[in-house]
Amino acid sequence: MSVAASSRQPRSVVASAALLLAALLPVGCATRAESPVTLRFWAMGREGEVVAELVREFEAEHPGVRVQVEQIPWSAAHEKLLTAHVGRSSPDVAQLGNSWMPEFHALRALRPVPATLAAAGVTREASFEGIWDTNVFDSVAFGVPWYVDTRVLFYRRDLFERAGVHSMPGDWAGFRRALEAVKAQSGGKAHGIFLPINEWVPPYVLGLSAGAGMLRDHGTRGDFSSPEFRRAFAWFAQLFRDGLAPPVAHSEVANMYQEIERGTFAAVITGPWNLGEFARRLPADLQDDWATAPLPGPDGPESGASTAGGSSLVVFERSRHAEAAWKLVAFLSRPEVQARFFRLTGDLPAMRAAWSDSALANDGRIDAFRVQLQRVRPAPLVPEWELIATMLQIQAEAVARGAVSPDSALARLDRDVDRVLEKRRWLRERERGASR
């Protein structure tokens, strides 16, 4: 009889059956008789394909547990997870994009990470703190980073060198001078950097680097008019005004790699997936000429912050096999498993110990990510963030196109964001009223 079937029967029957079993069998056998447990594990895209291979080893270690990997396409993952939770058919374990954590936490869909994981070496200190913090609400973690993702600078080293820049400056002023030099050296044909205006990441990471918090009053109001964000936004706008960045979207650039090859753009801010793409799409004679670097900051390299992206592993509140589920999470967090996962997918491991693997340690281009990951900070942990980010993008696009001044764009942004966060203010008021 399966576990699922027995649990529907009256408790007393189950209890007496268990008592009977316990009386009849030696203890060791009794625990084995509980099985088989089937864990439903939802993973997305390429990760889903690869992890099915990794969990076989976990099953071998835990004979009573079977892991059923269900592969969800990325484009439908968010909706599927939400509807699964609402429809009470959520999986036991799932891969969750870090930016979705606030939503699922607001839904009360996730279990807090138990102490057993810390005992297995899965801690904030063992991973990258900035990434780990995307999962922490009121000092409680609700997920374990699986792989990480952040944005760094990809650039044409040869173009910068030809312009007399031999090492990438770590501060905004120096970086700007470098871009000016590249543009001047090309005779004005090249733009220094490609900051696609259909993305919210460029203005966001600049604000992050300047120390802006984006939201204030416990995430209930927009704070884009703060001196920090205004400083970053003014710097961002100036790049477009001076022609160091072209006001174009991704769709207006037919092929980014071609433009980088031609030298139209000498640099771009992008993520780890482009390590593979650059290697594949740039011609062979350019392969030694492109490099990566951590993002420059307003006050020197230490201040250059970036996004805390990637995916975490979570266990759903409704899971009936939470203990086994967390064991699977601990297994997937082992440094050697993470290193293998990196070799299979190219996803950067979330556990620092895995980075000593030779595949990661000996690649200079990956090194920029290692440095950057020490300087990542989570986005505001509110479910509305994704919406707010698209609103930021819309205002940044208007500024880049020269349609509005930076300050009035930010005032408008704060007004729109305040409207979106109205519910949070009300919730907070209510909570305070209740505690009074």
Query: Which residues bind to other proteins, rule: CB under 8 A?
Result: 75, 78-79, 82-83, 85-86, 103, 106-109, 198, 249, 251, 254, 383, 387, 423, 426-427, 430
Rounded least distance, CB 238 to other proteins, Å: 24
Which tokens is 74 given?
């990325």
Rounded least distance, CB 107 to other proteins, Å: 5
Rounded least distance, CB 360 to other proteins, Å: 34
Residue with Cβ nearer other proteins (87 or 364): 87
What's the CA gap between 403 and 417, in Å, rounded? 20
Rounded least distance, CB 79 to other proteins, Å: 5
Rounded least distance, CB 311 to other proteins, Å: 18
Residue with Cβ nearer other proteins (189 or 430): 430
Interior angle at CA 7, CA 4 and CA 10, nearest 5: 150
Own/partner long-range contacts of 114-121 (Cβ < 8 Å, ≥24 apart): 114/322, 114/326, 116/326, 116/330, 117/144, 117/326, 117/329, 117/330, 117/333, 120/330, 120/333, 121/333
Rounded least distance, CB 48 to other proteins, Å: 19
Which tokens is 189 given?
């044909």
User: What CA dihedral angle connects 359, 77, 270 and 147, to 10 degrees?
Assistant: -30
- Tell me the angle at which helices 385-400 and 201-209 cross, rounded to the nearest 10 degrees: 100
What's the CA gap between 53 and 75, in Å, rounded? 23
Question: Dihedral sign, CA of 299, 265, 294, 389?
Answer: positive
Rounded least distance, CB 115 to other proteins, Å: 25
What's the CA gap between 326 and 313, in Å, rounded? 9
Residue with Cβ nearer other proteins (30 or 248): 248
Residue 338, classed as helix, strand or coil, is: helix
Which tokens is 312 given?
């975490």
Neighbours of 364 (CB within 10 A): 8
Which tokens is 34 given?
């509980």
Residue with Cβ nearer other proteins (263 or 383): 383
Rounded least distance, CB 111 to other proteins, Å: 14
What's the CA gap between 123 and 36, in Å, rounded? 29
Residue with Cβ nearer other proteins (109 or 237): 109
Residue with Cβ nearer other proteins (353 or 387): 387
Rg (CA), the chain: 25
Place of tokens 């008021």: 429
Residue with Cβ nearer other proteins (377 or 424): 424
Residue with Cβ nearer other proteins (139 or 251): 251
Name residue 65's beta-bridge partners: 37
Residue with Cβ nearer other proteins (1 or 254): 254
Rounded least distance, CB 146 to other proteins, Å: 23
Rounded least distance, CB 62 to other proteins, Å: 32
Residue with Cβ nearer other proteins (31 or 255): 255
Contacts of residue 198, Cβ cutoff 8 Å, sequence gap at least 6: 249, 250, 251, 393, 397
What's the CA gap between 181 and 186, in Å, rounded? 9
